[in-house]
Amino acid sequence: MLQFIQRVQTNTWRDLSKLTKTTQITTIEVTEKKTTENARLENPLRDDVAFARILDAYLPPQIKERAEGELAALCEAAVSEQVMDWIAEAERCPAQIQHWDAWGVKKDELVTSQGWKYLWQYGISERLAALPSLDQEYEGYGRIIQLLKGHIYGPSSATSGFHLILADGVAALLLSHLRESKIDKSTRALFQYAYDRLTSPDPQKGWASGLWMTERGGGSDLTPTETTATYSPLSPDDDSKDADGFPLGPWVLNGLKWFSTGTEANMAIAVARTEKGLSAFYVPMRRAVTVDGAPTTELNGVRIRRLKKKLGTKPLPTSELELNGMRGWLVGKEGKGINEIGIVLNVTRVHLAVGVVGYAGRALAAARAFAKVRKVARGTPLSRVPLHMRSLARAHVAYRAHMMLGFFVTALLAKSEQQKQPSTPAVLELVPKSSQDASCLLRLLGSVSKASAAMDACSMTQCAVESLGGVGYLENEEMAFNVSRLWRDAVATLIGEGTVDVLATDVVKVMKGKIGSYVMAAFGRWVKATLPSKESLAPEAAIMTQQWAELQTAISKNSMEYLTMNGREIMDRVCKLSTGILLLADAARDDNPVAIEVARRWIRPTTLLSGSSVEQELMFDQQIVFGNQPTWLGEP
Ligand SMILES: Cc1cc2nc3c(=O)[nH]c(=O)nc-3n(C[C@H](O)[C@H](O)[C@H](O)COP(=O)(O)OP(=O)(O)OC[C@H]3O[C@@H](n4cnc5c(N)ncnc54)[C@H](O)[C@@H]3O)c2cc1C
């Protein structure tokens, strides 16, 4: 962080901060008696038990030790005043389109705030899209470290994290082609250049990419795609180049893309129709031109029609784009574009699953901080109010469950990507040794984790909004406690990269369709291998075994149509089963009493008022919310 700020200062930051000061509205100082002590967000590495347990479960000690400094610095930065100021600026000044220049020439350029740019650049410098660099340093554990960082930085990125997620997903697509021997020399050079930019840890070099699929006719279903691509190579004497000096591609795209979050990207992967069907194209955003004898660049046959006005993700420029003679390169085989997009979504969905749980984690951190200082009911701290703690404990149990699933799916993704195994196994060996079983689980749980995390994160962030009372509903300038923003942003993940129902449909297809028997068998082997055999956890393990048997019967006895109609229930059962097993395995690792209680509450069916002791249950609720030994609670 310090290095990044120093770099920013040597460029423009100092001048900018002066500018901000001179343009600030004068405030009238009123001295008022404080009714609530200032709440303070803590460094998540110290304050978030779920995060700490993930580090212990998924990283071997020597990797954890090596990564701790880097993670601690990011955790500190993520809740720092500097980053909060940048978020506030990004929220206050969302992107705009400048349609005309001073001389009446049409330009349609996107203008974004400095705060937004710094947050994006800071994310690049933290290697959030630089997987090769992380993998090299952390010997195959780069994916886990990257997602740990994404989880922490996402809610601090003012949604610029979406650029990093997409850069990473598109890099995975380009890498899959760079590993092929068949691509021609010029395409290889172009893809390698783009790959190096997308995965660069240097903010001056790092790129963003768009992923253009959705049109007015549909986003879930791309068959109505109207954008066309025609093969029409440049004439031999035409040496038109893109902004980076590569020849413009032989395909010409025309159409309208209805949603693009990559408006300010350097390139995009666009879906367009050719004679052979839906195909994927690499399109550079800008091309080189000469104006009045001077070299410059302009948009490559694409026009920003308008920016979308959204409920959340406000700083993220999402636009409608008109493609009019945009030149690009075919990616993969003509007519097989959906497969290419699948490679991107395979990665971005895992990011979204972990990322949206990060939003929930931050909102719950705000609720914890508030509960420590707020007094209600004639001076009782909220942290001692049993009903309040019960609600927060319920949200924290869900948070821990989704953390376990999100990082399990991350570990599956890491295994699928690695050509050789990590040299040291993780502490908790949850990932199947068989690559085929791991792929089957990834195919199933990728969709489950993204959709379920999105739904539950909306409830968890909403719980935080409610927990902060009236202040929770406000658009606070203090971004650390603007939990409404976290809720608004979380809602977007219910829709982007596959809506909940579309993913539930996919889950049923994976379990019942062509690969269903392999997936069910792989899942069964994993359930058996992962369920702990400890006597103390036997009742919960029995519930899981019973639920797995019920799920198998439901899948085998019912038709695809009936299962699809009940897709959400099926998806919910897979989510409950996998998260339950993961929580049990985590609890069995060290017999931590709070981890055991979390697993029990998540797994056991709710019965009305099954306990009896307020004091004992309150103590557990407080420990679930604040950690094992909340020393600051003091004597009751
Ligand atoms: C903030 C934001 C950013 C976005 N950025 C991009 C971007 O960069 N690039 C891009 O291409 N798109 C982007 N999108 C668009 C997004 O991918 C689509 O909105 C999404 O895929 C849904 O498509 P749709 O809007 O056409 O809704 P539809 O597909 O029409 O869905 C409407 C409803 O029908 C349901 N439904 C659809 N199909 C089925 C089915 N088979 N079975 C059951 N139910 C079904 C859906 O669940 C939904 O409830 C963005 C959207 C948002 C909100």
pLDDT in tens, 417-428: 986 655 556 666
20 pLDDT above the threshold of 50? no
Alpha helices in 418-537 (DSSP H): 435-467, 483-492, 500-512, 516-530
Write the residue with the smallest CA distance to atom 20 of ligand 1.
219
Q: Find where tokens 């993520």 sit.
A: 78
66 pLDDT above the threshold of 90? yes
Give the residue, 46 or 197, on which the prediction is more confident: 197
Would the CA dihedral through 421, 425, 426, 431 be positive or negative?
Answer: positive
Write the residue with the smallest CA distance to atom 13 of ligand 1.
259
C-alpha 330, offset from chain centre: 28
How much distance in Å is there from the Cα of 281 to the middle of ligand 1? 21
Write the residue with the smallest CA distance to atom 41 of ligand 1.
502
- Ligand 1 atom at minimum distance from 213 CA: 11
Distance separating alpha carbons of residues 520 and 444, to the nearest angstrom: 10
Which pLDDT score is estimated for 423? Answer: 55
CATH of the domain at 297: 2.40.110.20
Structural domain tally of the chain? 1
Average pLDDT, the chain: 91
Quote the pTM value. Answer: 0.93
449 found inside a domain: no
- Confidence category of residue 160, pLDDT binned at 50, 70, 90: very high
* Paired tokens of 132: 């090769």
User: Per residue in 468-513, pLDDT tens?
Assistant: 999 999 999 889 999 999 999 999 999 999 999 999 999 999 999 9
- Ligand 1 atom at minimum distance from 221 CA: 29
413 pLDDT above the threshold of 60? yes
15 pLDDT above the threshold of 60? no
539 pLDDT above the threshold of 90? yes
Distance separating alpha carbons of residues 41 and 386, to the nearest angstrom: 23
Which pLDDT score is estimated for 592? Answer: 92
Sequence-distant contacts of 67-70: CB under 8 A, at least 24 apart: 67/138, 67/141, 67/145, 67/148, 70/145
Write the residue with the smallest CA distance to atom 22 of ligand 1.
219
Distance separating alpha carbons of residues 591 and 57, to the nearest angstrom: 13
Distance separating alpha carbons of residues 579 and 575, to the nearest angstrom: 6
The CA-to-CA distance between both ends of the chain, in Å, stands at 40
DSSP 13: I
Which pLDDT score is estimated for 635? Answer: 43
Which pLDDT score is estimated for 439? Answer: 95
How much distance in Å is there from the Cα of 499 to the middle of ligand 1? 6
In the chain, the amino acid numbered 634 is: G
How much distance in Å is there from the Cα of 349 to the middle of ligand 1? 14
User: Per residue in 582-630, pLDDT tens?
Assistant: 999 999 999 999 999 999 999 998 776 677 788 888 999 999 999 865 4
137 found inside a domain: no
261 pLDDT above the threshold of 60? yes
11 pLDDT above the threshold of 60? no
How much distance in Å is there from the Cα of 219 to the middle of ligand 1? 4
Give the residue, 104 or 579, on which the prediction is more confident: 579
Which of 359, 364, 313 lies closest to 91, judged by CA? Answer: 313
CB atoms within 10 A of CB 605: 6
* 502, 560, 566, best to mutate for ligand 1 pocket (most atoms within 8 Å of CB): 502
104 found inside a domain: no
- Confidence category of residue 27, pLDDT binned at 50, 70, 90: very low
- Confidence category of residue 39, pLDDT binned at 50, 70, 90: confident
Write the residue with the smallest CA distance to atom 51 of ligand 1.
496
How much distance in Å is there from the Cα of 501 to the middle of ligand 1? 10
| Percent of the chain surpassing pLDDT 70 | 91
How much distance in Å is there from the Cα of 348 to the middle of ligand 1? 15
- Confidence category of residue 385, pLDDT binned at 50, 70, 90: very high
Which pLDDT score is estimated for 263? Answer: 84
26 pLDDT above the threshold of 70? no
515 found inside a domain: no
3-state SS, residue 132: helix
452 found inside a domain: no
Write the residue with the smallest CA distance to atom 16 of ligand 1.
496
- Ligand 1 binding residues, C-beta < 6 A: 211-214, 218-221, 259-262, 310, 313, 318, 492, 495-496, 499, 501-502, 505
Write the residue with the smallest CA distance to atom 18 of ligand 1.
219
Which pLDDT score is estimated for 181? Answer: 79
Which pLDDT score is estimated for 566? Answer: 97
Which pLDDT score is estimated for 119? Answer: 97
Q: What mean pLDDT comes out for the span 545-559?
A: 97
Which pLDDT score is estimated for 5? Answer: 63
Which pLDDT score is estimated for 126? Answer: 96
* 165, 212, 214, best to mutate for ligand 1 pocket (most atoms within 8 Å of CB): 214
Give the residue, 294 or 426, on which the prediction is more confident: 294
* 259, 307, 338, best to mutate for ligand 1 pocket (most atoms within 8 Å of CB): 259
Decide the pairing of beta strands 209-212 and 267-274.
Answer: parallel
- Ligand 1 atom at minimum distance from 567 CA: 43
How much distance in Å is there from the Cα of 25 to the middle of ligand 1? 41
Give the residue, 342 or 631, on which the prediction is more confident: 342
137 pLDDT above the threshold of 70? yes
Write the residue with the smallest CA distance to atom 39 of ligand 1.
502
Which of 558, 553, 559 lies closest to 524, judged by CA? Answer: 553
Q: Do residues 618 and 385 touch, judged by C-beta distance below 8 A?
A: no
* 495, 503, 565, best to mutate for ligand 1 pocket (most atoms within 8 Å of CB): 495
* Paired tokens of 456: 């539950």
C-alpha 307, offset from chain centre: 22
395 pLDDT above the threshold of 50? yes
Q: Find where tokens 């984690």 sit.
A: 361
244 found inside a domain: yes
In the chain, the amino acid numbered 546 is: Q
* 159, 264, 320, 499, best to mutate for ligand 1 pocket (most atoms within 8 Å of CB): 499
- Confidence category of residue 33, pLDDT binned at 50, 70, 90: low
Which pLDDT score is estimated for 23? Answer: 36
308 found inside a domain: yes
Domain interval for residue 297: 208-335
Q: What mean pLDDT comes out for the span 234-250?
A: 95
292 found inside a domain: yes
Distance separating alpha carbons of residues 360 and 44, to the nearest angstrom: 13
> Which stretch, 6-10, 93-97, 443-447, has highest mean pLDDT?
443-447
- Confidence category of residue 38, pLDDT binned at 50, 70, 90: confident
Q: Which helix (H) or strand (E) holds 602?
A: helix 593-603
